[in-house]
Amino acid sequence: MKYILWLLKAAIFFTLFAFALNNQQDATVHFFFGTQWRAPLVLVVLSAFAIGLVVGVLGMVPRWWMHHSYASAATTPPQPPTAAPTEAAPASTHSVPPHGI
């Protein structure tokens, strides 16, 4: 299984390497106000992928923070009461073990 995964990774690498070698022509990306960027096509595709990845991660950050705050609130132990009861509870005649033991 280890060798099959290694061969799959090598096949993906060589496929991307061949893609990069076949797309070395200059491409022009036109921005606003007449600005433009000339670069090899493979760099244009790679930068578009990287920018999309960053935008996707930044779009998920608020949801991750919300889930993290819910998870950390759920895992904190309950706080003991601050005010002591005025009357002592009567001792129980039955001894009940705690749940899960």
Q: Is residue 56 part of a domain?
A: yes
Distance CA 42, CA 24 (A): 7
Q: Which secondary structure element, helix H or strand E, spans residue 47, and what is its range? A: helix 41-75
For 72, the domain range is 25-76
pLDDT at 97 over 70: no
Structure tokens at 25: 């022509």
Q: Is residue 97 part of a domain?
A: no
Whole-model pTM?
0.51
40 forms bridges with which residues in the sheet?
26
Q: Is residue 93 part of a domain?
A: no
CA angle, 99 as apex, 97 and 100 as ends, to 5°? 110
Q: Is residue 69 part of a domain?
A: yes
- Domain count for the chain, please give it: 1
Q: Is residue 48 part of a domain?
A: yes
Q: Is residue 9 part of a domain?
A: no
15-38 pLDDT, tens digit per residue, is 988 888 887 888 888 889 989 889
Q: Measure CA 92 to chain center.
A: 50
Q: Is residue 95 part of a domain?
A: no
Distance CA 39, CA 26 (A): 5
For residue 13, the SS3 value is helix
Distance CA 45, CA 29 (A): 11
In the DSSP assignment, the letter for residue 29 is: E
Distance CA 91, CA 86 (A): 15
pLDDT at 98 over 60: yes
Q: Is residue 65 part of a domain?
A: yes
